[in-house]
A and B are shown apart, each in its own frame.
Chain A
Amino acid sequence: MRKLINKLNELNWFLPVLAFIVGCIGVAMIYSATGGVWGLGAKQHFIRLCAGLILMLIIASIDVRIWFQLAYPGYVFALIFLICVEFFGVSVNGSQRWLDLFVVRIQPSEMMKMAMVLALARFYHDLPQWRVSKPVGVIGVLIIILAPVGLILLQPDLGTALLLAATGIVFAFLSGINWRVITGAAVSAAIALPLFVQFGLKDYQRARIHTFLDPSRDPSGASYHIIQSKIALGSGGISGKGFMQGTQSSLNYVPENRTDFIFTVIGEEFGLVGGLGTMVLYILILGVCIWLANQCRHIFSRMLIMGLSMTFALYVFINMAMVMGLVPVVGVPLPLISYGGTVMMTVLAGFGIILSAHLHRNKELPRGSGLLLSFR
């Protein structure tokens, strides 16, 4: 018990407090988006936020070495789940993302986000620095990244797949990979991307990209989202229409404004001030994370914190860019603010791991014990 209190004392409280503030913004916005009814999501969001924070603290108190041990098995499990989705998954909205485990329905792609970060952190922890840019390092990383990305693309879930790929790239960059390799990867991506768009995408995904490029083409169809969302943001102006006064959201012109498009409610009701304020909070969270990462002794902990916080940052970037009409509409929520249980739990569990890694930053971790990469 004392040990636990000691741990909580040592805990970095910036992250939980920031997470709580942002989560409460989410509660308020969901309350407004559902027309001022507490029970239509705001209540659930608040309960999940609190439960998630407790979960976060529990995870934070778990020794980081357990995560270290679980890194590879967890990754393999997540991969197996992803494969299971292919065969036994439940279809929702035309894509097969859910796995029904009788008790709960889980989304293995969400699990994979964390599992891949752990696996990559472990991989780079074990890999000697000088091998990072060597074939062993590059190919190893590519396998760890591309296996889940490929499976998720099959579901199909373009947003999550891109998110995983981007996280992987950040990892590689952080590991100190050679600029030559980075350039080479960028060139091959530039060649592969158009081919992928042409042959690798489903029709509805291509339609989203077309809509994004020319939103006025079909105002009530697919691009309706983008147009209405821009109207909501733009009509907010500098100071916004006021809490609960957003007509675009209260009259349901912006679809999904409780979930993926919740940022429109902030923008409409609190204007530029509210929008920038939200961004500042996210920047603070990311800043705290980088600060925490750089305090750690081990590559594993650093990689873990950076990886998890970058996943979080990518969520924020993609969601905001999508709502503002900068990127095509992909189903990416705004972490902590968008309504949704899985995302809330994943994000706060991630924060828990970050806190755990930071809390145990001085614990000894064996190096070169994983796989067969330790020989020099």
Chain B
Amino acid sequence: MSNKDDHIQMMNRRSVLIGLGGLCIFNVLASRLYYLQVVRAEDYRVLSDKNQFNFNILLPERGRILDRYGEALAMNKQDFRFVLVPERVQDIDKTLNKIGKILPLSQLSRKRIKNDIRHNAKFIPVLIDEHVEWSVFSALNINLPNIPGLVPVEGKRRSYPNDGVFAHTLGYVGKVGQKPLESDEDSLLRQPSFRIGKTGIEQSFDKVLRGKAGRQKVEVNAIGRIVHEWESDKKEATPGQDVWLTLDAGLQRYSASLFGEESGGVSVIDAKTGELRVLLSMPTFDGNLFVSGLSSSKMKALNADPSRPQFNKVLGGGYPPASTFKMVAMLAALKSGLINPQHPVFCSGKIELGDRIFHCWKRHGHGWMNMHDALQHSCDVYFYEIVQRLGIDRIKSMAEKLGLGQSYDLGINGQIKGIIPNAVWKKANNHGTWRTGDALNAVVGQGYVLATPLQLSVMVARIANGKNAIEPSLIINDNMRSANTLDINPDHIKFVQNAMLSVTERAGGTAYRPGALGIPGVKMAGKTGTGQVRGITTAERAKGVIKNKYLLWKHRDHSIFVGYAPYDNPRFAACVLVEHGGSGAGLAAQYCRKILSKALKDDGMANMGMPIKNEG
């Protein structure tokens, strides 16, 4: 019995021990609870809020790009699309069939839709189709009650009207690539529907156009569904700013219409301020194609086109300026004082230099030519003669003074500097030592010389202005840069201007067509250029140079014309380049006359009758 009592005693003891052990464990748990809920409470409260709240990004509307008169060149168009919320759909196939009756869905897009549904949470809307026509959109809208889960969405989409006439300048927007994501912290870039500027103004002014993201505080649950939106904690998005360009949309459209199938570039510049009125590269491409992503076959077609639609020829195309370079040589010669402009030179159609023969464009020569006549008739031999006395360096420095061989601060990428060669340049670029023959080629704007249509228009604008070394500008209110003085003797300028007038207004001028602008009392001065793209062999010359129309397109000469008007009070300067368009007196001169005429008429010069007297 006592044995059993002992046993009971022992069990009582041990059961109490077990109870105490249990209390110890509860003590540990309670301490842990105290640690979590009192000591660390604040940390966990923050984490809990982070879990609970999210900030939804509100997309700002992208700023527009406008021409000088406020016409929108890049804008945001209503975009209609449909999304499907899978959790509200009973039978996906039936629903897609119903939708397909009004909005045709390809087998491929059906597959994509089903795939998207499978890979996302059931409450996340899946895109059915975007850029839906208004008629289809409204037809489907009427049927919405029969198709549960289908949600119409109106959004904004970048749109470029004008069939791409401004494509090279504006550029386009597209999906955000990897590079900007790495360097730009902006939360907008992480939004799937956000589009970033890829080229042109869209790219260089992206931060201005983009605007600032708004945000809205939302409560989300563990799988990301929005449970509540706080209207009070909402910051509206700040829309992007508009960018105003100096371009004249009407004039640019008109210029583009002249080109037809031709390829080339036009630059029209305000000779007083440097504002660009036209900056056109032809042919163009449709920037709208890039907004929603271009298919690879379309991309290939665009890249394979020999006229290179995507290439911005007016800024990035380096062409031999040909005879339009002769004004540079003239001004250099006048400045040097080495050449008497009245002193005649005999042109026999060619000169011999060592064992090489340099030809004038006129096979049998111009006869006796002074400086004025040499420009009017574009006599090559005259310039071959004077460059041998001047040396290339004087010409190079004058060319740079007139704006060649450099790029300008336009606010967009894609400019090239072009080439104004001399001995130093030739050596540095591993073309060997400078020869007199190089100078002879250079003085008529051939050989190594390369310039862009933009640079040539600046050159003419500076000659036309005469006082200021005007800088081209593309953006309005871009703190009107005060141009430097040109620092060329006004008499020399006057002499060259007069010779350029003879080109168009005096019988025998290479582009002689008096009164061609069609505005009474307003005259245009200019200069033709015929840029040779192929070497002409001695043998061919002996038989007679092959006419352009018998050559392959890519072997034909570039047709170049630079000019300004009105002669008495220069307002606009222009350069027109038609790739492989034949002689400068042809297409380019014809286009340039029409463009300048329209520019002046639009500017209210048509009814002026009497030109304003140029002061100073």
Contact partners of B38 in chain A: CB under 8 A:
237-238, 272
Contact A248 B22 (CB under 8 A): no
Q: How many residues of A contact B (CB 8 A)?
A: 46
B45 at the A interface (CB under 8 A): yes
Interface of chain A residues 161 through 190 with chain B (CB within 8 A): 170, 173-176
A286 at the interface (CB under 8 A from B): yes
User: A44 on the interface (CB 8 Å rule)?
Assistant: no
Interface of B is mostly: helix
B469 → chain A closest CB, angstroms: 63
Which of B25, B37, B223 counts the most chain A CB atoms within 10 A?
B37
Say what secondary structure dominates the interface of chain A.
helix
0/1 interface trace, chain B 4-29, chain A, CB 8 Å (1 if under): 00110011101111110011011011
- Contact status B32-A272, CB under 8 Å: no
A29-79: which residues lie under 8 A (CB-CB) from chain B? none
For this complex, 25 residue pairs linking A to B, each with C-beta atoms less than 8 Å apart, are A174-B15, A174-B18, A176-B11, A233-B44, A234-B36, A234-B37, A234-B40, A235-B44, A235-B47, A237-B41, A238-B37, A247-B48, A251-B220, A252-B223, A253-B51, A283-B23, A290-B16, A294-B15, A299-B11, A302-B15, A306-B15, A317-B22, A320-B29, A324-B32, A324-B36
A287 at the interface (CB under 8 A from B): yes
Residues of B near A91 (CB, < 8 A) are: none
- Residues 195-221 of B, flagged 1 when their CB comes within 8 A of A and 0 if not, give 000000000000000000000000111
Q: Is B222 in the interface zone, CB < 8 Å from A?
A: yes
Task: List CB contacts (< 8 Å) of B27-60 with chain A.
Answer: 28-30, 32-34, 36-38, 40-41, 43-45, 47-48, 51-52
Q: Smallest CB–CB gap between A285 and chain B, Å?
A: 11
Please give, as numbers and ranges, the residues of chain A lying within 8 Å of B222 by CB-CB distance.
251-253, 255
Given contacts A231-B44, A286-B22, contact A129 B3 (CB under 8 A): yes
Contacting residues of chain A (264-282) with chain B, CB-CB under 8 angstroms: 267, 271-272, 275-276, 279, 282
Q: B408 to nearest A CB, angstroms?
A: 53
Q: Given contacts A232-B48, A233-B36, could you give 13 more A-B pairs where the C-beta distance is less than 8 Å? A: A174-B15, A234-B47, A234-B48, A235-B41, A238-B38, A238-B41, A247-B52, A248-B51, A267-B33, A275-B30, A302-B11, A306-B15, A326-B28
Q: Tell me the smallest distance from the CB of B17 to a CB of chain A, in Å.
A: 8
Contacting pair B7 A324 (CB below 8 A): no
Is A244 in the interface zone, CB < 8 Å from B? no
| Known contacts A253-B51, A279-B26, A237 near B15 by CB under 8 Å | no
Determine whether A18 belongs to the interface, using a CB cutoff of 8 Å to chain B.
Answer: no
Quick one: which of B10, B44, B223 has the most chain A CB within 10 A? B44
In the docked arrangement, what's the CA distance between A333 and B26, Å?
17
A302–B26 CA distance with the chains assembled, in angstroms = 23
The verdict on A321 contacting chain B, using a C-beta distance below 8 Å, is: yes
Give the shortest distance, in Å, between A163 (CB) and chain B (any CB): 14
> What are the residues of chain B within 8 A of A170 when measuring CB–CB?
18
A contact residues around B6 at 8 Å (CB): 129
Contact yes or no, A286 B48, CB < 8 A: no
Task: Indicate with 1 or 0, residue by residue over A285-320, a CB within 8 angstroms of chain B CB atoms.
Answer: 011001001100001001000100010010001001
Bound form: Cα–Cα A275–B33 in Å: 8
B residues near A302, Cβ cutoff 8 Å: 11, 15
In the complex with contacts A176-B11, A234-B43, A279-B30, A251-B22 CB distance below 8 A: no
**A-chain residues with CB within 8 Å of residue B11 when the two chains form the complex:** 174-176, 294, 299, 302
Interface size class of B (residues with CB under 8 A): 35 or more
The reply to whether A252 and B221 form a contact with Cβ atoms under 8 Å apart is yes
Smallest Cβ-Cβ distance to B32: which chain A residue: A324
Q: Determine whether A208 belongs to the interface, using a CB cutoff of 8 Å to chain B.
A: no
Complex Cα distance, B222 from A231, in Å, reads 13
Q: From B30, B47, B221, name the one whose CB has the most chain A CB atoms within 10 angstroms.
A: B47
Contact A233 B227 (CB under 8 A): no
Give the complex CA separation of A145 and B219 in angstroms: 51
| Shortest beta-carbon distance from B152 to chain A in Å | 29
A236 at interface, CB cutoff 8 A = yes
B32 CB contacts on chain A under 8 angstroms: 321, 324-326
Instruction: Contact check, A294 vs B51: say whether CB atoms are below 8 A apart.
Output: no
Instruction: Indicate if the CB atoms of B47 and A231 lie closer than 8 Å.
Output: yes
Which A residues from 144 to 158 make CB contacts under 8 A with B? none
A7 to B395, CA, bound (A): 125
Contact digits for B432-455, partner A, Cβ 8 Å, 1 yes 0 no: 000000000000000000000000
Q: Give chain B's interface residues, CB within 8 Å of chain A.
A: 3, 6-7, 10-12, 14-19, 22-23, 25-26, 28-30, 32-34, 36-38, 40-41, 43-45, 47-48, 51-52, 219-223, 227
Distance to closest chain A CB from B45 (angstroms) = 4
A230 within 8 A of B: yes
Residues of B within 8 A of A299 (CB): 7, 11
| A237 in contact with B7 (CB, 8 Å) | no
**Please, what's the 1-or-0 string for A332-343, where 1 marks a CB less than 8 Å from any CB in chain B?**
000000000000
CA A231 – CA B22 in complex, angstroms?
27
A290 CA / B11 CA spacing, docked (Å)? 11
* Complex contact A236–B7 (CB within 8 A): no
Find out whether the CB atom of A324 lies under 8 angstroms from the CB atom of B221: no
In the complex, number of A-B residue pairs with CB atoms less than 8 Å apart: 128
B48 touches A248 (CB 8 A): yes
Scoring B11, B41, B43, B220 by chain A CB atoms within 10 A of each residue's CB, the highest score goes to: B11
> In the assembly, what is the distance between CA of A275 and CA of B10, in Å?
34
Instruction: Let me know if B18 and A251 touch, CB within 8 A.
Output: no
Whether the pair A235, B48 counts as a contact (CB closer than 8 A) is yes
Does B37 contact A272, Cβ atoms closer than 8 Å? yes
Give bound CA distance, A300 to B333, whole Å.
Answer: 127
Contact assessment for A313 and B22 in the assembled complex, using a CB-CB cutoff below 8 Å: yes
A129 to B10, CA, bound (A): 11
Give, as a whole number of angstroms, the nearest-CB distance from B36 to chain A.
Answer: 5
Determine if A306 and B44 form an interchain contact, defined as CB atoms under 8 angstroms apart: no
Known: A234-B45, A272-B33, A272-B38. A251 touches B25 (CB 8 A): no
Is the Cβ of A230 less than 8 Å from the Cβ of B19? no
Question: Among B26, B33, B45, which residue has its beta carbon within 8 angstroms of that of A235?
Answer: B45
Q: Please give the distance in Å from A304's CB to the nearest CB on chain B.
A: 12
Judging by beta carbons under 8 Å apart, are B7 and A271 in contact?
no
- Cα(A320)–Cα(B44), bound, Å: 18
B25: chain A residues within 8 A (beta carbon): 317
Q: Which residues of A contact B30 (CB under 8 A)?
A: 275-276, 279
A251 touches B19 (CB 8 A): no
Q: Using Cβ atoms and an 8 Å threshold, which residues of chain B touch A231?
A: 44, 47-48, 51
Question: Would A234 and B44 be within 8 Å (CB), given that A129-B3, A276-B33, A324-B32 are in contact?
Answer: yes
Chain B hits for A233, CB < 8 A: 33, 36-37, 44
- Chain A residue numbers with a CB within 8 Å of B40 are 234
Query: Chain B residue with minimal CB distance to A227?
Result: B47
Distance (whole angstroms) from the CB of A366 to the closest CB of chain B: 15
**Cβ B37 vs Cβ A237 within 8 A:** yes
Contact with B along A220-240 (1 / 0, CB 8 A): 000000001011111111100
Query: Are the CB atoms of A294 and B12 closer together than 8 Å?
Result: yes
Contacts of A232 in B (CB 8 A): 48
Contact between chains at B15 and A293 (CB < 8 Å): yes
Residues in chain A near residue B10, CB distance under 8 A: 176
CA of A301 to CA of B290 in the docked complex: distance in angstroms?
84
B7 A176 Cβ-Cβ under 8 A? yes
Which 4 interchain pairs have the tightest Cβ spacing? A234-B44, A235-B48, A251-B221, A252-B222
Q: How far is the CA of A248 from the CA of B45 in the complex (A)?
A: 10
User: Which A residue's beta carbon lies closest to that of B16?
Assistant: A290
Mask of A249-262 contacts with B, CB within 8 angstroms, 1/0: 00111010000000
Q: How far is the CB of A134 from chain B (nearest CB, A)?
A: 15
Residue of B nearest to A232 (CB): B48
Residues of chain B lying within 8 A (CB to CB) of residue A290: 15-16, 18-19
Q: Within the complex, which residue of A176, A234, A317 is in contact with B29, where a contact is CB–CB below 8 Å?
A: A317
Q: Which residues of chain A in 85-113 are interfacial with respect to chain B, using CB atoms and an 8 Å cutoff?
A: none
Q: Are B44 and A230 in contact (CB under 8 A)?
A: yes
Question: CA A325 – CA B17 in complex, angstroms?
Answer: 27
Whether the pair A267, B37 counts as a contact (CB closer than 8 A) is yes
**Given the complex of chains A and B, what is the CA–CA distance between A105 and B65 in angstroms?**
71
Q: A176-B10, A253-B221, A321-B29 are in contact. Are A247 and B51 (CB under 8 A)?
A: yes
